[in-house]
Structure 1
Amino acid sequence: MSLVGPRPPLPREVAQYTEYDKQRLLVTPGCTGLWQVSGRNDLGFHEMVKLDLQYIRERSLLYDLKIILKTIKVMIKPNSAY
């Protein structure tokens, strides 16, 4: 598990994935990620997959740092995940 990446899925979730959804499994799961700092509980599964794939396409050290900083902000002020 890495610090930043898509959240790790449950095996029962993966069993229901489409081929498109399975793309999010191409990287190591993380403790925090773009979905977690972009509205988390207000977003559905398809939005989560879209954000995870965006992260996979754009990932870099700087992008990870931005997500880590947003994670800290969300931890301090939970309603700021937007």
Structure 2
Amino acid sequence: MKTAKEALAKSLKTLLQTRSFDEIAVKQIVLDSGVNRQTFYYHFQDKFDCLQYLFFNEARDLIPEQILLSEWKARYLSVFRYLDVR
């Protein structure tokens, strides 16, 4: 089950597909997610904090906890490619 925090981050990710970060307001994130505005501020200080959470979780999914020495370069390059595409 997705938490409110995850739903908010997912909404931000969805909104970023059609507009720039500067064009996105907290109001749009909460409307898209269906989460209360107060709940947004319970989890995040602002939209930048939400973006940081989103990137951290996306990077965590790309890089496992245990990385073989032979794989570390490829794993970190995948994170940089992800950021470059976004």
What is the TM-score of this pair, normalised by structure 2? 0.28
Q: Which has the higher helix share?
A: 2
Which has the higher Rg, Structure 1 or Structure 2? 2
Higher relative contact order (CA 8 A, sep 6+): 1
| Higher strand fraction (1 or 2) | 1
Q: Name the TM-score, length of structure 1 as normaliser.
A: 0.29
